[in-house]
Amino acid sequence: MVDKVSIQGLGIAGSVLAEKLSSKGVKVKAYDPQKEYVKPCGEAVPVSFFSNDYLRLTDIKSRVNRFMVKVDGKTVVDWDAKKTIWFIIDKKKFVSNLRERALAQGAELIWSTGKPEKGVYVDARGPFSQESDKTIPVYRLIVRGVEWDENTVLIEFDSRKAGFYWVFPAGEKIVNIGGGFAREPKKVVKMVHNYASHVLGKGEIINKAASIITIHPKYRILEGRTFYVGEAAGFVMPSTGEGIRPAILSAEKLSQALLEEDSIHSIYRNYASSVKPLLMESRLSYTLFRVMLYKKPDARARLLSSLPRVFWKRYFSATLSSWKELFFSFFTQI
């Protein structure tokens, strides 16, 4: 077990890591320029993965069982799973509770950017650690006073702009609406505002925020003495934008390796083998994303419109984790 770890970034991955290591007596020093975690997000997590321990650290804003997919305005899927598939969580509360736990367990949290230090050093800066050509801007609004079913999400693909809008419930008469596009990404702000007025009509915008997300992940878990975790390591699903589960899972695996091993080499080997399934899942998601990206808009729209229902079921349930599952999704009926 290592006795001292410094972490740059206290978002999802960094906070999980700081909490897990400090609970076992590791001396943790962690840096983040933002004392309040303000990163905008859809805040959707698959129920099957989010344990009761994590549930105790947050509030559930909505429980999602119905998924609608549109391609350029046309509905291609309307799936009612009849059970909760996603929680929409309070991500800020989740991070803040993890940070508080870490602090109570003796971690030192410093509100500045920080820099590599002696000993084991972890980069958990999320997409801010990836190079700028690997990320795109993403924009979202929180809109209050709208008629929107509290259990339904809508994903609408824009085939020309190679991206999608989302409308997620975020409490009673509140929605989280946003988008991200690989083509002409800088138009995202205007596009999301236009889309919100088109889909929601009237409503009061109570929060607007922009951030970035990794669409061409640079996969790395160790460079020099620096370990990478979460989106900084490339653990994100480019075809869906899902990054909370990968950030938590990779942080759990890294903390386990740091607690079980004591040399950089053995920590690396332990961490690398335990995140292999996650890496494969992210690579598969990236391949799907690239297949879409490099098609002409018409072909992209046709492909998205013809995907089988099982594909979407797996897409939303976060169970498209291997080529085998992808393959069978094309031959299974539901």
Ligand X SMILES: Cc1cc2nc3c(=O)[nH]c(=O)nc-3n(C[C@H](O)[C@H](O)[C@H](O)COP(=O)(O)OP(=O)(O)OC[C@H]3O[C@@H](n4cnc5c(N)ncnc54)[C@H](O)[C@@H]3O)c2cc1C
Could you give the dihedral angle defined by the CA atoms of residues 126, 188, 208 and 247, in that order, rounded to the nearest 10 degrees? -20
| Residue 10 within binding range of ligand X, rule CB under 6 A | yes
**124 binding ligand X? (CB under 6 A):** yes
Q: Parallel, antiparallel, or unpaired for β 120-123 and 226-228? A: parallel
Q: Which of 163, 178, 217, 238 contacts ligand X by CB under 6 A?
A: 178
Q: Is 272 helix (H, G, I), strand (E, B) or coil?
A: helix
The least CB distance from residue 219 to ligand X, in Å, is 13
The answer to the question of residue 241 lying near ligand X (CB under 6 A) is yes
Nearer to ligand X, 49 or 294 (CB): 49
Q: State which of residues 130, 151, 152, 211 lies at the interface with ligand X (CB under 6 A).
A: 211
Question: Which of the stretches 185-193, 229-237, 306-314, 324-332 binds ligand X when contact is defined by CB under 6 A?
Answer: 229-237
Integer Cα distance of 157 and 161 in angstroms: 9
Contacts of 80 (CB under 8 A, 6+ apart): 65, 66
CA–CA separation, 330 and 21 (whole Å): 42
Q: Is 230 in the site for ligand X (CB under 6 A)?
A: yes
Tell me which DSSP letter residue 224 carries: T
Q: Is 242 in the site for ligand X (CB under 6 A)?
A: yes
> Closest Cα to residue 228, out of 205, 262, 257, 199?
257
Residue of 34, 75, 194, 266 interacting with ligand X (CB under 6 A): 34
Q: Please, which of residues 134-163 interact with ligand X by CB under 6 A?
A: 138, 140
Of the pair 236, 257, the CB lying nearest ligand X is at 236
Which of 40, 163, 234, 238 binds ligand X (CB under 6 A)? It is 40
Q: Which residues contact 194 (CB under 8 A, 6 or more apart)?
A: none
| C-alpha 329: how far from chain center | 23
CB of residue 248 to ligand X, shortest distance in Å: 8
Contact residues toward ligand X (CB under 6 A) are 8-14, 31-34, 37, 39-45, 113-114, 124-128, 138, 140, 178, 211, 213, 230-232, 236, 241-245, 247
